[in-house]
Amino acid sequence: MINFVVKGEPVRHNKLNGKQIAYNTPQGTFAKRHLVTNTTTDRQKPPHISRDDYTTLSKQARSALALVTVGLFLLAISFYVSFSLDRSFLVAILATWIGMLIVLWRGLAHHGHSAFGSANLLTSVRGAGASLLAGLVLIPDVLNASLATTTTALWAVSLCVTLLIALDGVDGYLARREKLMSSFGARFDMEVDAFLALVIALILWRTNETGLWVLGLGLMRYVFVVCSWFLAPLRASLFPSMRRKVICVIQLGALCLMLSPLIDGVASAIVGGVALVCLAYSFLIDIIWLYRQPSYDVTSSASVRDMKNTHTMAPGNTDNIDTKP
């Protein structure tokens, strides 16, 4: 059993890999309730899926992703030829899309359903759109040259971004309608949003629309992930929050507005600054909450049993696939 210390009583210490782990929990029942989900290694058990179901899922995923890849390739080639763009445009698109496919495929086992679903297909399309926009990051001169004569190119990019953001609310509806909700789908959608925000921020910076500070709107999530590699409390699971969803909308909406020809200069800086403050506030609230959670004692028999029965959420883990025919 894991011992929790009531507020006001002496702190109990247990050794974990040579380190002293302190338990000082004002709310013992709350700590027990979050014991498994808030471990220092963020280990969660993926949904069980049979080998036959996983085979069906992987076939559907391959077909869907192949279709999206062909569409992305045709669009990229048409833009490359029509506007005589630099080869770096194609390289950026290819590199980002391949990276997204690798991450997606390695986490597919966490979907837990035999069907890939239209929701994940739509999220893949959004990811392909973000990869297409990523190609613009390496050709800022072309965008700046277009902006010097007309705002048509900027309007086109803004409308594309607006469409990708608007579709963000559709994939969740499709998943609920088809009863194919999963941690994989939610994580995939979140990563596409984060990547899209980073791409927009990079475009704004590379085209001199704003200063270097705008990258904070795209890099904050990735800085948090890197910090979690070294700080164990940041690897714990977070509770569902409407605040995060609202601030995500504010973040993407602000980036889209800053990219459009509707505002520029001071107005763009104000909109971006407000969004950056909201995003930083949201991360700060979550970080404080994570550090206030109780430590996890892996030396206890209950803790060891929990860890043996859980699987890491790291991409590529397929331990939840049943090896029986």
How many other β-carbons are positioned within 10 Å of the β-carbon of residue 239? Answer: 10
Could you tell me which of 235, 255, 234, 236 has the C-alpha nearest to residue 168?
Answer: 255
**Residue 270, in any domain of the structure:** yes
Please give the model's pTM, rounded to 2 decimal places. 0.76
User: Considering the domain boundaries, does residue 306 fall inside one?
Assistant: no
Spell out the alpha helix ranges (H) of 209-265: 216-230, 242-259
What's residue 47's pLDDT?
Answer: 61
Q: Which two tokens stand for residue 190?
A: 């979140």
- How far apart (Å, rounded) are the C-alpha atoms in residues 78 and 132? 12
Is residue 39 packed enough to be buried (19+ CB in 10 Å), middle (13-18) or exposed (0-12)? buried
DSSP letters along 18-38, please?
Answer: TEEEEE--S-HHHHHHTTTTT
234 domain residue, yes or no:
yes
Assigned domain for 132 exists: yes
List CB contacts of 95: < 8 A, sequence separation 6 or more.
Answer: none
Partners of residue 50 on adjacent β-strands: 322
- 110 falls within a domain: yes
The span from the CA of 282 to the CA of 276, in Å, is 10
- Residue 133: the pLDDT is 93
Q: Under a CB-based contact definition with an 8 Å cutoff, are residues 310 and 43 in contact?
A: yes
At 126, list the tokens: 């959004």
Q: How many domains does the chain have?
A: 1
In a domain, 129, yes or no: yes
d(CA 56, CA 41): 31
Rounded Cα distance between 81 and 77, Å, is 6
* Beta carbons within 8 Å of 134's beta carbon, 6+ residues apart: 92, 93, 96, 199, 202
Which range of residues forms the domain containing residue 159?
49-291
Query: Mean pLDDT in runs of 10 for the chain (325 residues)?
Result: 39 37 39 35 55 91 96 93 86 94 91 92 96 88 68 83 91 91 91 94 88 94 95 89 92 92 88 96 95 61 34 36 38
* Beta-sheet pairing, 12-16 with 19-23: antiparallel
Cβ atoms of 126 and 167 closer than 8 Å? yes
| DSSP characters over 186-223 | HHHHHHHHHHHHHHHHHHHHHTTSS-GGGGHHHHHHHH
Whole-number pLDDT of residue 52: 87
As separate numbers, helices (DSSP H) first and strands (DSSP E) second, the chain gives: 12, 4
**What pLDDT score was predicted for residue 10?**
39
> Cα(245)–Cα(237) distance, rounded to whole angstroms?
16
Q: Across-strand partners of 177? A: none
> Rounded to whole angstroms, how far apart are CA atoms 120 and 127?
10
Residue 146 is predicted with a pLDDT of 67
Q: Tell me, yes or no, whether 228 lies in a domain.
A: yes
In a domain, 41, yes or no: no
Burial class (CB in 10 A: 0-12, 13-18, 19+), 68: buried
